Amino acid sequence: MSKRCDICGKGAMVGNRVSHANNKTKHRFMPNLQNVRAIVNGQVKRVKICTRCLRSGKIEKAIRGRRYTPEMA
């Protein structure tokens, strides 16, 4: 599985770690991904989404322990 958001496509970025002596080493900055049960195309699916998409309400989380029916939407 890739480390990429299923909603916005945000992935790893590359940059440098800089020490006090100004030494630079390569570093990968990973997105904060969460596994969430969400309603996608009328079905409950497990998706990996970044916390920005989760916080901004780009997906609708599924309710635990309850079967999803289209009338609930």
Global confidence as pTM: 0.76
- Render pLDDT for 52-63 as a digit per residue (tens, 0 to 9): 999 999 999 998
Distances (CA, A) of 52 to 27, 32, 72: 22, 9, 25
- 29: closest CA among 12, 41, 43? 12
**Which CATH fold would you assign to the domain 1-61?**
Ribosomal Protein L24e; Chain: T; (2.30.170)
- Render pLDDT for 25-49 as a digit per residue (tens, 0 to 9): 999 999 999 999 999 888 999 999 9
